[in-house]
């Protein structure tokens, strides 16, 4: 009996060792997309009243966990029974990310009517509707990025047993959510930490200077994240297109990959934007006609 228990424990220890090694490899493979995920979600989690930052971020984090709970089992099942579907799901997700990135660029250059602070204030004034819309957008974007994280992680353990695959992908999914949104929480609360340091030190000493630095850095970081997040959306979508569409993968082999990715994302985003605009125009006309 005792020997049987020790044998089971030995098997569990061996499994955990395999999972640890596989998780380390999978995490290193997904490091790039995790960086993009951080930039995109940090940008989406900003622009709220200080009192609403943490509740909004917590709502997005919960949505991210739900995304992972949906994606992980579906990815494992599709990989086992219908692996080709994963490729097309990634491409569709790429179009969504490209659409978001291109839309942000077009809005910045052609539809800016107010300065950034005024836009944020306008969103704040709209209250719960604007907040819920931004949370929904962030969770949707997180879903697409999570799909790629899970697929990349799964791709590193295809030669492993099913338990190792399940545990490795689950570990990476949890680490991705906790790590990304933990860092985002630190970023959005930088100014509060700064004010706290200033208050506790009566605005004297090195700690107070650090506090002032944190307060001054936050708006710079937020603006930078807006740019970085948009670029991240485009680069992730471009990478999806180039790696999953054979024609794009083999075309212009002498062109640097980063340029191919960016160009593919811009074209994909413009196509998606055109389709969405046409759809809105058609359905908008139908609704207007029905109302009359």
Number of structural domains (the chain) is 1
What does the alpha-carbon distance between residue 243 and residue 246 come to, in Å, rounded to a whole number? Answer: 7
162-188 and 50-81 helices, crossing angle to 10°: 160
- pLDDT digit string, tens, across residues 5-23: 645 555 566 656 656 666 6
Determine, yes or no, domain membership for 152: yes
Does the pLDDT of residue 253 top 60, yes or no? yes
Lowest mean pLDDT among 7-16, 52-61, 106-115: 7-16
Please give the pLDDT value at position 120: 45
Does the pLDDT of residue 266 top 90, yes or no? yes
Please give the pLDDT value at position 267: 92
Determine, yes or no, domain membership for 193: no
Confidence of residue 34 (pLDDT cuts 50, 70, 90): low
Does the pLDDT of residue 189 top 50, yes or no? yes
Percentage of the chain lying above the pLDDT 90 cut: 5
Determine, yes or no, domain membership for 73: yes
**Pair 226, 43: CB distance under 8 Å:** yes
- pLDDT digit string, tens, across residues 209-245: 888 888 888 778 877 877 877 888 788 888 888 888 8
Please give the pLDDT value at position 27: 63
Lowest mean pLDDT among 65-74, 87-96, 162-171, 280-289: 280-289
Does the pLDDT of residue 290 top 60, yes or no? no
Does the pLDDT of residue 119 top 50, yes or no? no
Determine, yes or no, domain membership for 203: no
By C-alpha distance, which of 168, 176, 166 is closest to 19?
A: 168
Q: Which residue has the higher pLDDT, 283 or 166?
A: 166
The predicted model gives 242-258 an average pLDDT of 83
Please give the pLDDT value at position 268: 92
Determine, yes or no, domain membership for 149: yes
Please give the pLDDT value at position 118: 44
Determine, yes or no, domain membership for 198: no
Determine, yes or no, domain membership for 238: yes
Q: Which of 14-23, 123-132, 264-273 has the highest mean pLDDT?
A: 264-273
SS3 call for 194: helix
Confidence of residue 117 (pLDDT cuts 50, 70, 90): very low
Determine, yes or no, domain membership for 212: no
- Expressed as residue numbers, the domain containing 98 is 2-188+222-291
């Amino acid at each position: 009996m005792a020997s049987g228990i020790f044998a089971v424990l030995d098997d569990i220890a061996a499994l955990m060792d395999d999972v640890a090694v596989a998780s380390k490899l999978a995490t290193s493979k997904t490091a790039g997309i995790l960086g993009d995920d951080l930039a995109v979600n940090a940008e989406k989690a900003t622009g709220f009243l200080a009192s609403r930052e943490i509740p909004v971020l917590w709502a997005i984090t919960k949505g991210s966990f739900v995304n992972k709970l949906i994606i992980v089992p579906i990815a494992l099942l599709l990989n086992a029974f219908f692996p080709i579907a994963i490729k097309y799901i990634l491409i569709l997700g790429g179009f969504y990310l490209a659409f978001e990135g291109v839309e942000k660029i077009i809005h910045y250059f052609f539809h800016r009517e107010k300065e950034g602070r005024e836009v944020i204030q306008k969103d704040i004034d709209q209250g719960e509707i604007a907040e819920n819309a931004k949370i929904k957008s962030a969770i949707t974007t997180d879903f697409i990025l999570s799909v790629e994280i899970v697929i990349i992680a799964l791709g590193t353990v295809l030669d492993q047993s099913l338990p190792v695959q399940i545990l490795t992908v689950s570990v990476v999914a949890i680490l991705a959510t906790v790590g990304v949104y933990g860092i985002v929480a630190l970023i959005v609360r930088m100014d509060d930490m700064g004010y706290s340091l200033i208050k506790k030190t009566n605005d004297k000493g090195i700690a107070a200077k650090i506090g002032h630095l944190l307060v001054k850095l936050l708006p710079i970081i937020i603006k930078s994240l807006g740019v970085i997040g948009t670029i991240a959306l485009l680069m992730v979508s471009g990478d999806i297109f180039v790696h999953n569409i054979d024609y794009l993968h083999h075309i212009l082999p002498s062109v640097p990959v980063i340029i191919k990715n960016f160009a593919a994302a811009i074209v994909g985003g413009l196509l998606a934007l055109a389709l969405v605009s046409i759809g809105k125009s058609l359905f908008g006309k139908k609704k207007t006609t029905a109302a009359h």
